[in-house]
A and B are shown apart, each in its own frame.
Chain A
Amino acid sequence: MAAISAPAQTKFRTCPVTALKVDLAAEKLIKANAVTAIVFLAIGGLFALLLAFTRWQAVHLLPADWFYRLLTAHGLDMLVVWIVFFEVAGLYFGGTVVLNARLVFPKIAWLAFIMMLVGALLVNGIVLAGKADVMFTAYAPLVADPIFYLGIILFAVGALVAVFVFFATIVTAKKEKTYEGSLPLFTYGLVAAAIIATYALLSGALALVPALLTSLGLMEVDPAYYRNLFWGFGHTAQQINLAAMVAIWYALAQITVGAVPVNEKLSRFAFILYLLAINLGSAHHLLVDPGYSFAWKTFNTSYIMYLAVLGSLIHAFSIPAAVEVAQRRKGFTNGLFGWLRKAPWKEPGFSALVVSMMIFGWIGGVTGVTIGTEQINMTAHNTMRLPGHFHATVVAGTTLAFMGITYYLIPLIFRKPLKFPRVASWQPYVYGGGMLIVSIFMIAAGLMGAPRRNWQINLAEYPGATGLMFAIIAFGATIAVIGGLMFLWIVLASVFTGKQEDANRLTLVMKQENPLVEDALPNVGKEATGKYAPSGTLVIVFVFLMFFVVYYFSNWWLLGRAWIIR
């Protein structure tokens, strides 16, 4: 471990905003990973548009084989490549810049980057060559070309290496005392994400290595065994996104309104719940499998998964409450919602936070718990309700939060002023609005019975409005792609044009009506009382819980209509 004890070789610059040291090697890695992530986001977004206009059967753009091919590529590029590259950039940022620390093993971090990039290119290449029309899940014994599995494994191992560089970095930072006290909440959330990533990627290796050997003709993988291990990777990977997204929510709330959690320890505890509960919760993908007992399914999904749900519900209070208390301390104490009316709605980081939280919670979270309920799952399994759910969580939730934080990383890391701030101000609404339409109408099509991953359903067999639902999905997807292009345009214009200059304060994108005031920071640990109490948040979360209950029970009612008890 010679490298750990040789910090002298590391080159730093001092960030004029935070007065913290920025490791130049880390900075380069953050840039490379973030830019690669956004390139794959653009590719996946293009595929999304083509797919949406294929499922709209009046248009039926692509032939069947290309539909399944691009659906495979879209799933992998979006669910894995874009998000994991961006998360690796986030890990290096949270491990070095936030902690005032240096990145250990930068060469190994570059090796990780190259492995991930080569893996991603191999997967895209082999899928587009038509040798792996197997979907993201690649359920054995459906086999793809060995290169497909090799690519995913290479990517996963690369990501695992990056995670270990991150762990080594924060351990070194602790040893070298670059920061005081406990880890900042943002980095703490990223540590949770990184731990989840470790077991997600190991589970992925356990599923995909036998699948690779099967593809090479060396063994025959048991399909039921594959399903279990695949979801240990496939779903757990989404929880990496969840933890990273929540960490970014806290960061956005702090950057845009100066919000600090009222009870930070509770927020940290919620991250621990994710760590403990979420891997077993991935059993909800197997609820209608013939191979697992009722008791096994119930234990994993209804007891263990709900602990993770509790974690999310804690954040659902903690973040808006932090925003409310901060706003009230700035003097916006009128009534229950005066603080909300006076919130910086034009600031893209704030609107991205609100839109991301709302769609993630109200649509993604509520439908996720509902269709993850053992019996209700039988009315939902493999219908369009599933993509409806996860487009609300991973796209409108995670992707939008990542876009939101990007606007603040460009001045900090790329040291370029953000171009087109007014476009940025609209972008979260356009993207979020488009994805809201996509999610809701996917769920509606699913409620009518339309299966997911299907090139052509016989519309005569479904309720008359099913075709219309797919038309509206294509419309929503178009709006979301426009929102995606706005993001791409802002990022590319800012990063690749203009000259480098240091921001001398943490720049907000829009000129604020309500500038930050010192008083905005609550006394952490003390009860926020009187006019500073988060009463409005309490009303919002109870309305949310009522909505949750109504949606949940109406699904039992729907099951009751389908099920005739004798």
Chain B
Amino acid sequence: MHIDRRERNYVIFTIILITVFAGLVMVSGFAYGIQVPEPFMEVDPNTVATPPSPWGAPVDERVRELAPNKYEAYILAQTWTFLPNRITVPVGSTVTFYVTSKDVQHGFNVQQTNVNMMVVPGEVSTLTLTFDEPGEYTFVCNEYCGVGHQTMYGTVVVEP
């Protein structure tokens, strides 16, 4: 197949470019640990909201302090609220979110951070975030879940 010299150089250049792009995904994933939500655990959506499931505990006991400045938050997504939808932690805290749904698909996005994951019934979505600046961080459901979707949000209060 005859290929024009300019076109051939261009195609070679684009192949290098997209190879670099693909390589970056690997480098940032394996060298820097910037990975995305991965399979963590499966649950039964019909029983996930009842004890002894951690999402069945009283709402104010679903945020647990594991060590100083180290928290885990079990958040249950349901139409159209998160429970708990107000979480208070001191500044500098590292919070691991464990989010699951007891009904339809939802989303969980802490604004202006990389915590952005799908919440699929039957599965647990998890990511960890460190809050270095005091203030209020809104988290929203960003997957359409019915006509009350827009009312589904909550706040992480980071106290100085």
Contact = CB atoms under 8 A, between A and B. Distances in A.
Given A142-B105, A291-B120, A545-B14, A303 B22 contact: yes
Given A457-B140, A462-B111, 18 more contacts: A64-B148, A139-B104, A263-B2, A263-B4, A266-B1, A288-B116, A289-B117, A289-B118, A290-B120, A294-B38, A306-B18, A381-B118, A382-B109, A451-B107, A452-B142, A528-B4, A535-B6, A541-B10
Contact of A139 (B5, B38, B112, B143): B143
Contact of B24 (A292, A377, A556): A556
Contacts of B149: 68, 453-455
B57 interface: no
Interface of A: 64-65, 68, 133-135, 137, 139-142, 222-224, 227, 262-263, 265-266, 269, 286-294, 297-298, 302-303, 306, 309-310, 313-314, 317-318, 321, 369, 373-375, 377-383, 449, 451-458, 461-462, 525-528, 533-535, 537-538, 541-542, 545, 548-549, 552, 556, 559, 562-566
B39 A292 contact: yes
Interface of B: 1-7, 10-11, 13-15, 17-18, 21-22, 24-26, 28-29, 32-40, 103-105, 107, 109, 111-126, 130, 132, 138, 140, 142-150, 153
Contact of A545 (B13, B28, B132): B13
Contact of B107 (A265, A317, A382, A528): A382
A452 B149 CA distance: 11
B28 to A, nearest CB: 6
Counting chain B CB atoms within 10 Å of each CB, the highest count among A139, A383, A534 belongs to A139
Contact of B147 (A68, A223, A369): A68
B32 A133 contact: no
B105 A266 contact: no
Task: Pick the 4 closest A-B CB pairs, nearest first.
Answer: A382-B142, A451-B142, A290-B125, A290-B123
B114 A457 contact: no
Contacts of A451: 107, 109, 140, 142
Contacts, number: 214
Nearest to B130: A564
B118 A288 contact: yes
Contacts of A563: 34, 113-114
Contact of A310 (B18, B32, B132, B140): B18
